[in-house]
């Protein structure tokens, strides 16, 4: 699968998908971003069950600011509108493979149940 470009207009819909979404925040002038690009694109070719996206922080500064991106590259992984992972810095190919394996194994029903329980507890303490 190819890598898609996300914008402020397409970000929200992309994060709500059942399929895992991994986002690479980058900029053209960023050396580590350019070095990580081929690794990210190679993983996209291997994992058709994951959506791979890039957000150019130069072209989408409001979105990067809203997501508190402080350094690039930064990776974020979403499933069903839940942020499962966020880390600044490029990953090696093996680290990216391990991350994808872990993300695919997450029981989202359990995650949603835990979020609901936390929200319920939070509502009773106010």
Q: Residue with structure tokens 């058709």?
A: 48
Active-site hit among 6, 21, 23, 33: 33
Of the listed 6, 21, 30, 90, which one is catalytic?
30
| CA nearest neighbour of 24 among 13, 35, 16 | 35
Distance from the Cα of residue 95 to its chain's centroid: 15
Inter-CA distances, 26 with 6, 37, 74, 90, Å: 12, 9, 7, 10
Q: Say whether 92 is catalytic.
A: no
Helix residue ranges per DSSP H, the chain: 11-15, 31-46, 61-66, 93-105, 108-124
Any catalytic annotation for residue 116? no
Residues with catalytic annotation?
A: 30, 33
């Amino acid at each position: 699968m190819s890598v898609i470009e996300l914008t402020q207009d397409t970000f929200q819909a992309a994060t709500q998908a059942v399929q895992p979404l991994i986002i690479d925040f980058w900029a053209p002038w960023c050396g580590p971003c350019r070095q990580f690009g081929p690794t990210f694109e190679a993983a996209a070719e291997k994992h058709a069950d994951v959506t791979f996206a890039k957000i150019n922080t130069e072209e989408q500064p409001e979105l990067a600011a809203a997501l508190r991106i402080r350094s690039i590259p930064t990776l974020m992984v979403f499933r069903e509108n839940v942020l499962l992972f966020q880390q600044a810095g490029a990953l090696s190919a093996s680290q990216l493979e391990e991350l994808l394996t872990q993300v695919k194994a997450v029981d989202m029903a359990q995650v949603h149940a835990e979020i609901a329980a936390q929200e319920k507890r939070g509502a009773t303490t106010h």
